[in-house]
Structure 1
């Protein structure tokens, strides 16, 4: 899954999403930085390590960081190329025993179990994907007392001159509403964050740029 942006290296999009991501990861030895997403670091500050589910794990930057903080992580991705690479990085980081790498097309299969943290960061795709249904399953996988964290882009980067048609970027409120959580006084969920924020980036020419992202974070209450 997309961890950072939706700009493909080739104008040709392979037939399936799995083929697209396998091909994209196969074009380089490393596609992403290997560092954890800043939003994950920020929003997990103060949480006690437990079990975590990382959806769209890519090359494993977030999962490996979580494991280093003491979490036991289940990391799922569509691309076997990315998962193999992530497993190798986890071995290098000496946290391989704390991460279970799982291959899933999340529209048709989903990791089992419940988790203290479920994260879906930059969960976008150039292909058709039942995103809302997947995110509702993500919410269902949060254990009592656990946290759901969803982070995404509000639009294409400013330097993208030919944005892909048909790609939707919902607002944080739209994401929250689509989850159909029972929040509010006496409800099952407590919404902790539903907001946008600016994230500094670097454009392809190496110039500073800013991109607007959103964060939705909710805790499942204990009853």
Structure 2
């Protein structure tokens, strides 16, 4: 989870640009395990990666044959993601777009819409964004939302006032018509990861996977 949102950064874009400028690489460079688990075996098509960060998920999807639209609010993140895609030989399959998802959303519909850890200590309207994500799923397509369910074990939480919703709360907030959607997965699970100091750690995350009928 990112550092505290301070008043010296007047906007979400400035905050996230500063966050990604702190080091040459913030994340591991590996795709999210939940993405690999839930998408491996799906027939590739068009994918929308919301909050793509440094681009590891987008690169993995592209290398599986997906045509990816990768979106982030941070220009610094998108520039880094584009470099990583070029190094991986995946650039031709990825369209990078900068969006403040509170104000604009990528055009079109997609066979997969993926939102991994779309949390922010700022004033990001997460529920509104996820409803837009659901609206962007093509008939027969999949919406995959993965989020934190709790702060890292054994660590102080710098964002104690940030609500981390359960899968049920996320589903209810989407306000979907049940006859048009099938719930494929709705669960909490333990995730292993390496923290920013290089130490192995675990935390509780959740996954909501839906298919538009």
Establish whether TM, by shorter chain, passes 0.5: yes
Q: 1:11 and 1:17, CA in 2 relative to 1: closer, same or farther beyond 3 A?
A: closer
Q: Does 1:215 align with 2:202?
A: no
Could you tell me how far 1:158 is from its partner in structure 2? 2.0
Structure-1-length-normalised TM-score: 0.90
CA offsets 1:44-75 (integer angstroms, 9 cap, x no match): 02210000000000010000100000000000
Find the partner of 1:77 among 68, 72, 84: 72
Q: Deviations for 1:138-171, whole angstroms, at most 9, x for unmatched residues? A: 0000000000000000121123324324211011
Verify the 8 A CA contact 2:71 2:99 in the aligned structure 1.
yes
Residue in 1 that maps onto 2:2: 6
Give the aligned length.
213
Equivalent-residue separation in structure 2 for 1:198 and 1:141 (angstroms):
29
1:188 corresponding residue in structure 2: 180
Cα offsets for 1:78-100 (capped at 9, x unmatched): 00000011111111111111100
Residues 45-194 of structure 1 correspond to what in structure 2 (within 5 A)? 45-183=40-178, 187-194=179-186
* Alpha carbons 2:146, 2:205 under 8 Å: kept: yes
**SS, match of residue 194 in structure 1:** strand
Which consecutive unaligned segments of at least 5 residues does structure 1 have? none
The reply to whether residue 197 of structure 1 matches residue 197 of structure 2 is no
Which of 15, 23, 30 does residue 25 from structure 2 map onto?
30
TM-score, normalised on structure 2?
Answer: 0.94
In 1: Cα distance, 2:194 partner to 2:134 partner: 32
Shift of 1:6: 2.9
Aligned partners of 2:90 and 2:197: how far apart in 1?
35
Q: 1:24 to 1:214 in 2, by over 3 A?
A: same
Matched-pair contact (CA < 8 Å) for 2:26–2:196: no
Structure 2: tracts of 5 or more residues without a match: none
CA RMSD, 1 decimal: 1.7
Contact preservation (8 Å) 1:6, 1:156: no
